[in-house]
Structure 1
């Protein structure tokens, strides 16, 4: 409104608002399990970016669903995004082919492409539903689908890509957030990282982790040193 004393309220808007508030609400415990669009704003380091945000489609209040914890964005991914937004962090990935391990709903992969100027990014996870959630948001974030690829990857198997469809087979750097949470997964994670360094050109692996269990974290560090 420009002049509250002169401007009139739009009748159609009022009518629509009245219809919406009269609709019955579902129980809160059911609403909490439904996916929703979440908008994450980039750190102030990137305040000159024309659209400094990423939209995801996730179950923000669900810890685990369908046998995976990936249907929400965890703090470790946000911290890694902040690190990569610094000049030193951006230098690690800018203009490079990047692979993300355990991408979840794709916040970090989409953020790297949209705001941090990676050349391409391949986002991997074990659940097709998570890849679908990321792909669902590519258009909303204005992303070029030729530069971001969602890929199923079971860490018990070597990484593979479809070169005939233009998918990258070698990468400059790998990233991952909140991967160190279960001691049973550590051997598979270490095997996956070794495969990337040995067979897919990876020169650096940047990881962000929430320290939930020190023994599990030390198990990972010990495996990296052997």
Structure 2
């Protein structure tokens, strides 16, 4: 049984799927599964959703019986301990990188507190995989992330890469509050401590100039920001303003194409602004567990011509 994959799926509160094999009837395997999931050290003080954990244990025990096995005391005891716990006031998700694990305070809801920014979306995980396989794009560079949400992409990069500087930006107050909390949770694991800026794309795009701390950017990142046609003009104008101090600045935008018309509007707006656009082919190793039912693409955008 692939315990590493099971751990990644469990810690990120992802559907476990048909990963179970008959060796779960062994007591030693049940112990290994518990240590990789519900008894994992990283969960101490940073618990997952109680409903997710309960459902996982029910499925685990059902599968043991389905394979004709015995549910050993270690499994019953772990389940009993879980049932005795009160629901956590703050829920977390944990994401394994190659050498460490990052933890986020995160909502499982698609929309919470009036924003979509309190959940990690699949394009940020896809872009993280690409950048972790191509670290030279960010190492030693001045990086800005737009619409960072809870900070998954930036924290994954800062945990694995020594950026010159990394600025996480968003606008919604609840998002910014959780973002600061997530930086604090992971601070000891980070090779580069990110700064946080509140950036409203409408205000930034209309301003006479960008703040000095946003001058001289080497690369701008964004993920799952192309989902609303009404936001696209201000997003593109904001990017145009930000790259004005460095024409060589690269922009990488990862998008989940849920609505082809919305993505077409983004492509049109980018072209109308005079940017060059080219899709990046990613052959990065899959590190994270996310929904791949919709196409995910990475667009490289630049004022300069591509070589």
- TM-score, normalised via structure 1 length: 0.75
The whole-number CA distance in structure 2 between the counterparts of 1:21 and 1:116 is 40
Asked if 1:205 is matched to 2:251, the reply is: yes
For residue 5 of structure 1, what is the aligned residue in structure 2?
none
Instruction: Note the C-alpha offset of 1:207.
Output: 0.9
Asked if 1:103 is matched to 2:148, the reply is: yes
For residue 78 of structure 1, what is the aligned residue in structure 2?
125
Give a deviation string over 1:157-213, Cα, whole Å, max 9, x none: 12744x5xxx55431100000011011111111111111111466610011100011
* Contact 2:144–2:221 (8 Å) recurs in 1: yes
Asked if 1:132 is matched to 2:177, the reply is: yes
Cα RMSD for the two superposed structures? 2.8
* Contact 2:142–2:217 (8 Å) recurs in 1: yes
The whole-number CA distance in structure 2 between the counterparts of 1:144 and 1:83 is 19
Instruction: Note the C-alpha offset of 1:221.
Output: 0.7
For residue 221 of structure 2, what is the aligned residue in structure 1?
175
Q: Which of 236, 239, 247 in structure 2 is aligned with 1:193?
A: 239
Could you say what secondary structure the match of 1:191 adopts?
Answer: helix
Q: Which of 60, 63, 78 in structure 1 is aligned with 2:110?
A: 63
Instruction: Note the C-alpha offset of 1:139.
Output: 3.1
Could you say what secondary structure the match of 2:169 adopts?
Answer: strand
Give a deviation string over 1:6-39, Cα, whole Å, max 9, x none: xxxxxxxxxxx9887445x56xxxx8xx641211
* Contact 1:155–1:189 (8 Å) recurs in 2: yes
Could you say what secondary structure the match of 1:175 adopts?
Answer: strand
For residue 39 of structure 1, what is the aligned residue in structure 2?
94
Quickly say closer, same or farther: Cα 1:70–1:55, change in 2 above 3 A.
same
Gaps of 5+ in 1: 1-16
Aligned length: 191
Give a deviation string over 1:46-102, Cα, whole Å, max 9, x none: x3x3xx22111110x20012221010100110000000011xx21111111100000
The whole-number CA distance in structure 1 between the counterparts of 2:102 and 2:271 is 35
* Contact 2:143–2:218 (8 Å) recurs in 1: yes
Give the structure with the higher percent helix.
2
Quickly say closer, same or farther: Cα 1:169–1:62, change in 2 above 3 A.
same
- TM-score, normalised via structure 2 length: 0.56
The whole-number CA distance in structure 1 between the counterparts of 2:214 and 2:191 is 13
The whole-number CA distance in structure 2 between the counterparts of 1:19 and 1:75 is 32
* Contact 2:158–2:192 (8 Å) recurs in 1: no
Q: Which of 138, 162, 166 in structure 2 is aligned with 1:117?
A: 162
Gaps of 5+ in 2: 1-78, 273-307
